[in-house]
Amino acid sequence: MDEGYLTFHRSPGRHAWYLRRENRPIFDPLTKSWIITEPGCCERLLASRDTRPATYSDDYVALEKRLAVDFSNVLLAFLHIPMCLHEEEHRKARRRVAEHLAARRLDLAACTTKSLAVHLEPLRQEGEVEIVRQVLEPLILSVTEPLTDIPPVVAAECRTVSTIFDKSIGPRKRQRVDAELGRMRAAIVCKLGPNASEEAVGLRLALAILGRDTLLGTLGESLYSVLSANQGRRLNEISYPQIPPETGVPYIERIAVKSFCDKQTRFNVGDRLRIYLQAFAYSASPLEQPKIFGMGSHLCLGKALSIDLWKGITSFLGDIPLYADIVSHVLRTDDYVFLCPSRLSARLHS
């Protein structure tokens, strides 16, 4: 692709590219990374012990020293995001997240049921609805509150925290991210009490970062995919897939820890590998599609919540005898990490 791969994950031509299937790794000078879009290669390299996570935390430490700017909130969060950690630290972080999710399971289930009933109601009424702003954002902030202990009103004001993973943003925006995480951190401490451990606070910050835009992207783009493919059908006439057909996390990055070969491609130590989970979403094989959530030790711990929300939304839509005509669909143009709509409007009518 002549324009490079910085925005490949939201390119209109991405579907046809994935369907080629014979795609070999390509080095992209713009992103300074290998582009991995063939499902089998993606799976092998994601599981490879010859790679490690991208150096997000190290990059912020270096920037903190160079600019004499405090990024303590960002660095605390990175200590608890499993995908940013390696080997034993990765295993410990996954264990902490899994235990936290298990401990909050009943609260989360009750909150999910209540939130779906409240926030999906605009989809039952005739007229134009902006699905991102009126439905998905309030739904996601409400559902994730039992996990993050951040009130939705605070979380709604902190809109840039997921750009913590974006290597292209400048120092000023990074400071804004840290400031927003600071507000979230204060809200968590207010809820847990002044004696809350940094581990407890950092875990909740990590879940706040990982939960919002991943869910918004996955649910929003999946709804757009299904609704746009079924124009002319009533909502209760659509056959909805069991899992979301799109992922809000189009790729993850890994770093080669030593030189190695995968089939005909040689990767050198330090090479950046951009592994596209999106490849599984567009696969013709139903066995590959669930891998949008990763696999093995890199399986998304929020998979169950994503699928529960998707099933709750589609079950609700399956009872509505209205047509839903897509009026507007706009992807974020300044997002180089997630596949996320900034606007999704539909006109509901009988």
Q: What are the tens digits of pLDDT across the range 195-238?
A: 999 999 999 999 999 999 999 999 999 999 999 999 999 999 99
Find where tokens 């539909």 sit. Answer: 346
Question: Which range of residues forms the domain containing residue 78?
Answer: 8-349
Look at residue 341 and give its three-state secondary structure: strand
Residue 231 lies in a domain: yes
Residue 1 lies in a domain: no
Percentage of residues in the chain having pLDDT higher than 70: 98
304/246 Cα distance (integer angstroms): 15
41/52 Cα distance (integer angstroms): 16
84/215 Cα distance (integer angstroms): 19
Is the pLDDT reported for residue 4 higher than 90?
no
Residue 48 lies in a domain: yes
Backbone angle region of 287, left / alpha / beta, with phi > 0 → left and psi within -120 to 50 → alpha: alpha
Angle in degrees, CA 333, 278, 3, rounded to 5 = 45
Name every residue whose Cβ is closer than 8 Å to that of residue 308 and which is 6 or more positions away in sequence: 112
Model pLDDT for residues 179-206, shown as the tens digit of each residue: 999 999 999 999 999 999 999 999 999 9
Cβ atoms of 97 and 206 closer than 8 Å: yes
Residue 3 lies in a domain: no
Residue 2 lies in a domain: no
At 103 the pLDDT is 97
CA atoms within 13 A on the CB side of 163: 21
Residue 278 lies in a domain: yes
203/253 Cα distance (integer angstroms): 22
The mean pLDDT value of the chain amounts to 94
Tell me how many domains the chain contains: 1
User: Which residues, in sequence order, are bridge partners of residue 276?
Assistant: 251
**Each residue of 173-196: b (16+ CB within 10 Å) or e?**
ebebbbebbbbbbebbbeeeeeeb
CATH of the domain at 33: 1.10.630.10
DSSP code of residue 135: I
At 284 the pLDDT is 83
Over residues 158-175, the mean pLDDT reads 91
Largest CA distance in the chain: 60
Cβ atoms of 255 and 54 closer than 8 Å: yes
Model pLDDT for residues 90-147, shown as the tens digit of each residue: 999 999 999 999 999 999 999 999 999 999 999 999 999 999 999 999 999 999 999 9
Over residues 152-168, the mean pLDDT reads 92
Residue 308 lies in a domain: yes
Residue 306 belongs to what H/E stretch? helix 303-317
Backbone angle region of 187, left / alpha / beta, with phi > 0 → left and psi within -120 to 50 → alpha: alpha
Closest CA to 112 of 259, 309, 311, 334: 309
| Burial category of 273 from C-beta neighbours within 10 Å (exposed 0-12, middle 13-18, buried 19 and up) | buried
At 3 the pLDDT is 56
The pTM of this model reads 0.96
Closest CA to 274 of 48, 86, 57, 46: 46
Residue 127 lies in a domain: yes
CA atoms within 13 A on the CB side of 222: 29
**Structural tokens at position 263:** 């089939």
Model pLDDT for residues 5-43, shown as the tens digit of each residue: 899 999 988 888 888 766 799 999 999 999 999 999 999
Angle between helices 198-229 and 171-192 (to 10 degrees): 110
- Catalogue the E-assigned strands of the chain: 26-28, 33-36, 51-53, 127-130, 251-256, 260-262, 265-267, 272-276, 323-331, 341-349
Is the pLDDT reported for residue 2 higher than 60?
no
Is the pLDDT reported for residue 286 higher than 90?
no
